[in-house]
Amino acid sequence: MGRLSEVPMTTKTYRWLSAALPLSLLAVGLAGGAAAQERKVRRPVVAGAFYPENPAELAKAVDGYLETARAPQLPDPLLALIAPHAGYMYSGAVAAHGYALLKGMKPERVVVISPSHVDRFGFAAIYDGDAYATPLGEIPVDRSFAEKLGRVAPEVKLSSRGHEGSGARGEHALEVQLPFLQRVLGSFRLVPVVMGDQSYEASRALGVALAIATGESQTLIVASSDLSHYHSYEEAVRLDKALLRAVEGYDYLSLSRNLSRQAWEACGGGPIIAAMIAAERLGATRARLLKYANSGDVTGDHSRVVGYAAVALYKPSGKSPPAAARLSLSPDEQDELLRIARLSVETAVTRRKLVDLPAPASPALTREQGAFVTLKKQGRLRGCIGYSEPLRPLYLTVRDVAAYAALQDRRFPPVEPGELAELEYEVSVLSPFRRVRDVTEIETGLHGLMIKQGPREGLLLPQVAPEQGWNRATLLEQLCLKAGLPAEAWKDAGSDIFRFTALVFPEHPKAPVSVGNGHAGSEKAPPKSPAKR
């Protein structure tokens, strides 16, 4: 006679087992069967709408996208992907450019992070069930990793919130990624995460927790996000390209700040930032745009489009930190920005308005970039304000912050008309921000710094340290004090320090001046949001 599980369960057999087995053992067996039937599986909710419901049709559609995608050979290990989540007819071809990179990979698990479109809650929810299902089959949840991740940070919890949907609508942003993963990886374990809070603090908490939980294991991270929504084709391309430049520059701080201001758009901005932070702490310092398109490229309707991108985040083979970004403006472009700064100040002081400016011909001046304008009188600081992130085209940034430096620097009274002839101007154009992994990366005189700890932050431009005669340790202490933090706060695990470079040029310089060549400046005011002015 074979094992009990192999005995055909006829009515007669059941009666025999009921009489022969102890009641306690029979109860355990029945309870086990009930438990097996009560497995918690998240069923597909957008099959037949966002992608084909029929398994054969779905497999054919995904395989077709993958076959036509151009997958570059990355020279270094892939740690994370950013992929769109619209209906496959709109974004499937873009998503495939990312997923095609996974051919031949065998990660231990895949963490998919999506935004929540249908539920509101204040944490990142790791699915607390056993599996996610698509028409191609069930994907088991890596319960052990999920539980481990849920113990790292209070902002990350095991929960069904965001996964099970709300009312008649279910969340699509995570689900649409799964058939691509099933077709390219075959079997794998899944860690599904839906973010109810996409603030910088929440994104950082999830990213850091993911890096801690991952350790040395082979974990792939996928961030699910579309980009701008319902603008004209031209405006969508402008907005999306600006955002993608920040991603390619690995500047997730500016990305978060501009998303919170609604200057840029990405419905999964939190997942993107969390993935970038996690991948960075696991060694990634490079981001490569694989494909960009929008719905207008598919439908031909350019009036109201949605943007899509596939991006790879990867770890360079070398151990050296990323090189400082090189900034360059011609002497004529520098002179034009200084002219704009002076004209803006004179107009703001005498007429209390921002000057109207035509767009310059130079592409470098119309590209979004952060900048500060410093005003001095008889060699002493008279005002300084800037946008630290690439919020507006450079020529408009200089126009705005020059006027604000003259009238709204709280450390000084507003500039009076009688002072205009005595003012000296200096413009500092900023590179993207990169998080400091080790303070030995910081070069005084070359790097400006920003510290962020929760809501507190402070910024010092690169020229401050050489003027004040500060070494690296003093610079870090003064940075903390600028943010209203204790002098040693830069050592805290909850603090992020970001470095940047700047191209600095005073009015009528004898030669272009770049920070690192001994240029001296004054301590600057922290950047202010246009919304606060």
Could you state, in order of their start, the residue ranges of all structural domains in the chain? 4-37, 41-314, 331-532
What integer pLDDT is reported at residue 517 of this predicted model? 32
Say if residue 496 is exposed, middle or buried (CB neighbours under 10 Å; 0-12, 13-18, 19+): buried
491-518 pLDDT per residue, tens: 999 999 999 999 999 986 444 344 433 3
| Percent of the chain scoring above 90 in pLDDT | 81
Q: What are phi and psi of 519, to 5 degrees?
A: -65, 135
Whole-number Å distance between alpha carbons of 14 and 8: 9
What integer pLDDT is reported at residue 514 of this predicted model? 41
Average pLDDT score over residue span 323-343:
88
18-72 pLDDT per residue, tens: 333 343 333 444 445 545 558 899 999 999 999 999 999 999 999 999 999 987 8
Question: 331-532: which CATH number, 3.30.1130.10, 1.10.15.40, 3.30.700.20, 3.40.50.10950?
Answer: 3.30.700.20
Whole-number Å distance between alpha carbons of 168 and 152: 33
Answer whether CATH 3.40.830.10 is correct for domain 41-314. Answer: yes
Q: How many Å separate Cα 179 from the centre of its chain? A: 24
CB 222 within 8 A of CB 111: yes
Q: What is the model's pTM?
A: 0.86
